[in-house]
Amino acid sequence: MSEAPKPLLALALVAGLALPAAAQDVGPDTVVARVGESEITLGHMIVLRSQLPAEYQELPDDVLYQAVLDQLIRQSAVVERAGGELSLGAKLALENERRSFVAGEALSRIAEDAVTEEAVQDAYEAAYATAEPTTEFHASHILVESEEDALALLAEIENGADFATLAKENSVGPSGPNGGDLGWFTAGMMVKPFEVAVVELEPGGVAGPVQTQFGWHVIKLHETRLKDAPAIEDVRAELVQQIQRDAMETALETYTAEADISRTDVEIDPSILKNREILNQD
């Protein structure tokens, strides 16, 4: 094989040096731009992108990459040239933001660590292990504006009129076009007078007139059934949320109780919190 000409070999070496960093060498500390003394890293870009609204995150990767980098460069340029000294209000706001952010991150880690399979199972058993089956009701109703109208409908039903047909023709409620069918529901999902009437009915029975804030009801109970406790996977999301809330509340109470806290005896008028002018005092 003939030796490559030295000028071509030199160009190849230069080109090799100009290639982007290998993927395995790229990390959060990889510098992607410099503005004066300030460095912008890949980590800065990743964090900013994650904070963008969903509609922006759907942009093509190459477009979003350049947009995020441009934004960080512009911000850095402003800080570099015109940032200057922060006002007292801005400094205090920054301290509050940092305090809030650090506390939020700590609580997030606590919440995440609290969710284990054992914790989920324990929460499930605490919520449902001894729970009695829940009675569900399937009912229909006809909603009208007066007691007289409801009584007239009851008379028609007693004479053999079809409940669903009467509901379609007379009900002013949103379920009217569907024959008054309310589907399945449990105690607590309906207003109290309506619920009491349904609970007292036997399947196939009709009750009314029943007055609520919506008007006058004629109610028919179709059937009832017992609903067993849900499967753990069906309520996993709710259990996880409860575990995390409990863990964060416990941490807040524990850390506050254990902290070395002292409140000064300085007498301060609470209304002073509305006075931002105090921040402008020398």
pLDDT in tens, 106-143: 999 999 999 999 999 999 999 888 777 889 999 999 99
Return d(Cα 26, Cα 10) in angstroms, integer.
26
Query: Which letter does DSSP use for residue 189 in this model?
Result: S
For residue 24, the model assigns a pLDDT of 58
Q: Which residues have CB under 8 Å from 119's CB, separation 6+? A: 243
Nearest residue to 134 via CA among 203, 199, 180: 199
Locate the domains of the chain by residue range. Answer: 26-80, 89-130, 134-227
Residue 169 burial (CB count, 10 A): 12
- Token pair recorded at residue 204: 């196939």
For residue 127, the model assigns a pLDDT of 87
Fold of 134-227: Chitinase A; domain 3 (3.10.50)
Stretch among 36-45, 106-115, 130-139, 231-240 having the lowest mean pLDDT: 130-139
Peptide bond into 209 cis (omega under 30): yes
pLDDT digit string (tens) for 143-201? 999 999 999 999 999 999 999 999 999 999 899 999 999 999 988 899 999 999 999 99
Q: Does residue 243 have a pLDDT over 80? A: yes
Return d(Cα 174, Cα 184) in angstroms, integer.
16
- Token pair recorded at residue 76: 């850095």
